[in-house]
Amino acid sequence: MSNQNTSEIRRGQNQLVSFLWIRRSIGLLGFFFPLILILGAKSFSDCPDVLSSLSDYYHTIMRDVFAILMGFLAFAFFTYRGPEKIDGIIANLTGICALAIVFFSTSIKEDAGACVTCDMTTYKTVHFIFASLFFLLLSYFSLFLFTKTEKNSVPTLEKIQRNRIYRICGVIMLFSIVVIGIYLLWLKKNGIWTDVPIVLIFEWLALWAFGISWIVKGDWFIMIDK
């Protein structure tokens, strides 16, 4: 084997490792994002309560952390390139939504008290639109992009198992979006379950599903071979 061929193989292997680590990083960040915000606010401020949504933490001492993590997530999506052009397009759109979530912050309850440490300038409707698009794009990854099989090839048992995980994660994300929408548009307006952080719970659930999906796609679990 010539030195040129060896160099090309090594370069290809390095690109694959980098590609997988981008997927893993995206998955890990999605998985731990809620914990970082909630525990950080409780540990470094006088915020005794769990806020109504993860976006509310933008108005707390965790504002910079929120912005940095979302910025890193956006950067990871901007640098992500899948096997087809559509993967890159969806990734770029997801990155734009991640940045927009930060730039157009949500509103927060006035009785949040000691939890609020930053200004209250908000863009509630715009924030909700971009947050919804963000989760819809994430579910699209899991349901349609990750489940693809190469043309004229029979999916292996491992591929079938992974596709099952991707679809479950995608459905969980869609279900979470629907529940959040129903709560904000109807239940909350009618004073139902207003003392329960419904939005945060299902945002957390959706992010965990998103994280698991990308971690599996990054081939982290040995028992799930690509």
Q: Quick: pLDDT tens for 187-197.
A: 999 999 989 99
Break the chain into its structural domains and give their ranges.
3-217
- Of residues 127 and 221, which shows the higher confidence score? 127
Banded pLDDT at 173 (limits 50, 70, 90): very high
| 117: confidence class by pLDDT, cuts 50, 70, 90 | low
Quote the pTM value.
Answer: 0.86
* Contact status, residue 34 vs residue 70, Cβ threshold 8 Å: no
**How confident is the model over 49-77, as a mean pLDDT?**
93
Output the pLDDT for position 33: 96
Supply the DSSP string of 134-147, one letter for each residue: HHHHHHHIIIIITT
